[in-house]
Structure 1
Amino acid sequence: MTDTILNERAAAPREGVLVRMSQTMVAFSERWFPDAYIFVLLATVAVALASIAHGGSPVAVSTAFGEGFWSIIPFTMQMALVAIGGYIVALSPPVAALMRRAAAMPSTGRGAVVFVGVVSILLSLVNWGVSLIFSGLLVREIARRKDIRLDYRAAGAAGYLGLGFGFTLGISSSAAQLQANPASIPPSLMPITGVISFYETILTWQNLLVIVVGTALSAAICYYTTPSDAAAKTAADLGVDLTDVKAEQKPTRPGDYLEFSPLLTILIVVLAAGWFYETFKSGNPLITMSGLNTYNFVFLLVGALLHWRPRSFLVSFSQAMPSVAGVLLQFPFYGGIAYMLTRVKAGSVSLSDTIAHWFVGLASDASVFSFIVGIYSAILGFFIPSAGGKWIIEAPYIMKAANEIGAHLGWTVMVYNIAETLPNFINPFWMLPLLGVLKLKSKDLIGYTSMQFFIHFPVVMLLAVALMHTFTYRAPVMP
């Protein structure tokens, strides 16, 4: 018996150094890391104590927290609907049919992993919810094929690439969306940043270069870290059941007729057609979609049309709701933190002002400032995995420092976007919906996604810092 075990261990492929390191980190995180909500509470308490230590009175700090708690509710709802709209589209029957066709394209298991990774990144540029769910379903569909041997873990990790690198560089970027919308920018932030259009953030050629380089890098990492067919662990090897159990949807009473008829869907789409035409008849459609309300309305409208029948739409909406629980719970705390940072003052200086001066003191020029912002945002992103909510916290002092040192405001937003998502590769917070689709645990994927993090971070951060030299500073533009 002992000889058999020793032989099996000797025959098993030995994982690489980075994979073994990441597994050690995963084991530590699973044992010691609390839910992300606990980090939000810790951040709230820390900022409150820092504001008092900075010279603010406890009453002023408490008042600022209470007043700021509901200050970003419109943005909170908008970001929740970004996720819901993406899920609805990804779960629609036509998209499911498209996914089945896409699953037949790769000819090898290793090629399939690369294919899933590239698809995940490209979809995330439009909507991270679509990317996450479509990629998970795509992996399951490819895993059903009998003609290739797919490493289910590597493919699942590839399906997460859009959340580690990609979604904050496209039109679903919460920071870029917020800065492009006067109605979404908190009153405390508007005087510091003004309105920053997509032409200065995601639609710059510099951002396109980062996307191209990062996508190519991701694909290469996928290719060289995917096990050979002999060492691959398929879904069957991992004990994952790939059978989809679908509840049959049929009307059971006369009152159900309209739920299973496309009549009302057609009427609503016809009703919205005039709005759609007036909204998009002139100008760049991507700029038009920079309005979060417009963005969300389009996705909900497209989702309703793709589902065709109201019952299918309602079911997908319900399935999407768990994914936004963290947004609805945590974002109000970010609003309270932002107010404590900017509204509580010692004399005429807020804690945000002091932190901004600290950034300026460390940075000798815009490039050094960009590097510091990137490192800081990545570290904070590991503990607060929320691009939009965390931007509310960081923006007041980061953008104030950018103004003082002469760093381009739009590219400062993009440096934040590039760095902030990378910790998602090693923090499984946003991985949870994907894990539900794949029926895996975070430890199954993080061995691969950690390697993406270790290689991505130095490459894309150096590129982001170098590109700051191609911009010139401009003062905030008020609406």
Structure 2
Amino acid sequence: LNNSALLQMTIAAFGFIYIGHHFYLNGFDLNFNIIIFTFLILGLFLHKTPLRYSISMKRSSRNISGILFQYPFYAGIMGIMLSTGLGEKIGELQVSIATLTNYPFLAYVSGGLVNFAIPSAGGEFAVIGPGIINVVKELGAGLSESEVTAMIARASMGIAYGESLSNALQPFYLLIIFPVMASGTKLQARDIMGYFVIPFILFFIIQSALLIWMPL
């Protein structure tokens, strides 16, 4: 697949269709989103294969190229999850198994899993937050308003904890320090990500225990 033009040309074709659709509907409306998207699609088209494109990006942005390349696709995944209602479906699935004692842990796991598809905390909450809040409101039916508000706060923090934890396995914050710390070396983000596995497991155990028995 890395040396095949079929996959990349298919993505580029759909990209050009969208670009044409955008300008057809909005005229010559240039904004950051369409500019970045146009450059991405042009790059895919001109480089023909994923391997050529990745090599070119490494030459231009060196040790953070892999992360930069993924972000536009993460945004696309977020758009799909929002437009298809997948976030609401996640909430509906939780309704069947959520209880007054385990809902913070379920929110925590959901936040961690969805973060692998949407590494933006705000974007992730926009996708799964409303569904999980609806779950909490259903569970809190008959309780006082202050109790329901406290439950929503716990669920929201559970999502945030899960999102923060899974960042250990895809450390995008390295974008800030890698250009400086890895300057003059051949280090890539993937070279150090393995060292985050042990802290990830450790904190998952600790946070899970706290969310189950002390969901504050």
TM over 0.5: yes
Which residue of 123, 135, 141 corresponds with 1:401? 135
Match in the other structure for 1:448: 195
Q: Is the CA contact (8 Å cut-off) linking 1:360 and 1:369 kept in structure 2? A: no
Shift in Å, 1:383: 2.1
Task: Work out the number of aligned pairs and report it.
Answer: 139
d(CA) in 1 for partners of 2:80, 2:190: 31
Shift in Å, 1:34: 5.4
Shift in Å, 1:398: 0.9
Q: CA RMSD in A?
A: 2.8
Q: State how 1:376-387 maps to structure 2 within 5 Å.
A: 376-387=110-121
Deviations 1:189-221 (A, max 9, x none): xxxxxxxxxxxxxxxxxxxxxxxxxxxxxxxxx
Q: Which has the higher helix share?
A: 2
Match in the other structure for 1:414: 157
TM-score (norm 2): 0.56
- Give the share of equivalent positions with the same residue, in percent: 22
Shift in Å, 1:42: 2.5
Unpaired runs of 5+ in structure 1? Answer: 1-29, 52-340, 342-350, 471-479
Amino acid at match of 1:433: I
d(CA) in 2 for partners of 1:362, 1:451: 29
Match in the other structure for 2:204: 457
Match in the other structure for 1:39: 74
Is it true that 1:426 corresponds to 2:190 in the alignment? no
Shift in Å, 1:355: 4.5
Unpaired runs of 5+ in structure 2? Answer: 1-64, 141-147
Match in the other structure for 1:356: 91
d(CA) in 1 for partners of 2:72, 2:97: 31
Q: Is the CA contact (8 Å cut-off) linking 2:107 and 2:158 kept in structure 1? A: yes
Q: State how 1:9-408 maps to structure 2 within 5 Å.
A: 35-48=70-83, 50-51=84-85, 352=88, 355-363=90-98, 365-406=99-140, 408=151
Q: Call closer, same or farther: CA 1:366–1:436 in 2, change over 3 Å.
A: farther
Deviations 1:296-352 (A, max 9, x none): xxxxxxxxxxxxxxxxxxxxxxxxxxxxxxxxxxxxxxxxxxxxx8xxxxxxxxx73
- Runs of 4 or more, structure 1, over 6 Å off, are none
Shift in Å, 1:428: 2.9
d(CA) in 2 for partners of 1:360, 1:386: 25
d(CA) in 2 for partners of 1:412, 1:47: 20
Amino acid at match of 2:73: I
SS at match of 2:199: helix
Shift in Å, 1:356: 3.3
Q: Call closer, same or farther: CA 1:383–1:45 in 2, change over 3 Å.
A: closer
d(CA) in 2 for partners of 1:43, 1:386: 9
Amino acid at match of 1:356: G
SS at match of 2:214: helix
d(CA) in 2 for partners of 1:409, 1:46: 22
